[in-house]
Structure 1
Amino acid sequence: MKESDSKPASVDDYIAGFPAEVQAILKKVRATVTAAAPEAQEVISYRMPALKQKGILIFYAAFKGHIGFYPPITGDAKLEQAAAPYAGEKGNLRFPYDQAIPYELIGKLTELRVAQDKAKAAAKKRKP
């Protein structure tokens, strides 16, 4: 992203701040996550695009050499294993530009976060 202290006003503004090749990747990530979470709202949080339902589902962001995907994924051993090659030091995922971006995996991870968000919201409703 362009070096600036200002927060992007929208996801479109965020994406527009990158070179064309990174914009293309971000647009495809955006389409993938919004398709996987059709009820979620797009927001900017921590200066990154995010999807919010009851709570924040996911964040994604472009960096110098990769796309970052947050938060760390837990709760599904098969997806955790599939995401493991992309895990950074804190478990957040990094998808390098010089490798094929695993859009299908990104979609499945987003679907998992939607299910987890719904379960968390339901559990809160049941508490007195």
Structure 2
Amino acid sequence: MAKTDYRTIDQYHDVFPEETQERMEQVRNLIKKIVPESEEVISYQIPAFKIGKKFLIYYAAFPNHISLSSPWSEAFLKNFETDLEDLKISKSAIQFPNNKPFPLDLIKKMIAFRKKELD
């Protein structure tokens, strides 16, 4: 992908295939539903949501996966340890492969957990 200067999440979504756009829109809608007070922004040229000055979560699309990013706490990683064992994870990113069902229930729980961490 060429260097870009996204100003909105819609601009970011528009450059991806339809199936990827749908997955990203599902994440976006979950965040809006669970954390309606969050603000949509572009940070590091990817979609992000923040509450005040604190970043709740980022997401990004890649050819083979959708990535959710945040500075995951030890409590977060411990809480979701079993759910994440088949996924590629780091201290700041979790990759959800495009060739597997998109775990919206898990993502919903993760967003809610992050919201509680920021409260």
- 2:18 aligns with 20
TM-superposed CA distance for 1:101, in Å, is 0.8
Compare CA radii of gyration and give the structure with the larger one: 1
- Matching residue's letter, 2:80: L
Distance 1:6 1:91 in 2: 23
TM-superposed CA distance for 1:84, in Å, is 3.1
- Matching residue's letter, 1:58: I
TM-score by length of 1: 0.81
- 2:57 aligns with 58
Secondary structure of 2:86's aligned partner: helix
Post-superposition CA distance 1:28-55 (Å, at most 9, x none): 1111222121111111101111110030
Q: Could you list the runs of 5+ residues in structure 2 that have no partner in the other structure?
A: none
Distance 1:82 1:46 in 2: 27
Secondary structure of 1:18's aligned partner: coil
Identify if the C-alpha distance between structure 1 residues 86 and 73 changes in structure 2 by more than 3 Å, giving closer, same or farther: farther
CA RMSD of superposed structures (Å): 1.7
Between the two proteins, the alignment pairs up a number of residues equal to 116
Check the 8 A contact 1:74/1:80 in 2, yes or no.
no
Q: Could you list the runs of 5+ residues in structure 1 that have no partner in the other structure?
A: 119-128
In terms of fraction of residues, the more strand-rich structure is: 2
In terms of fraction of residues, the more helix-rich structure is: 1
- 1:39 aligns with 37
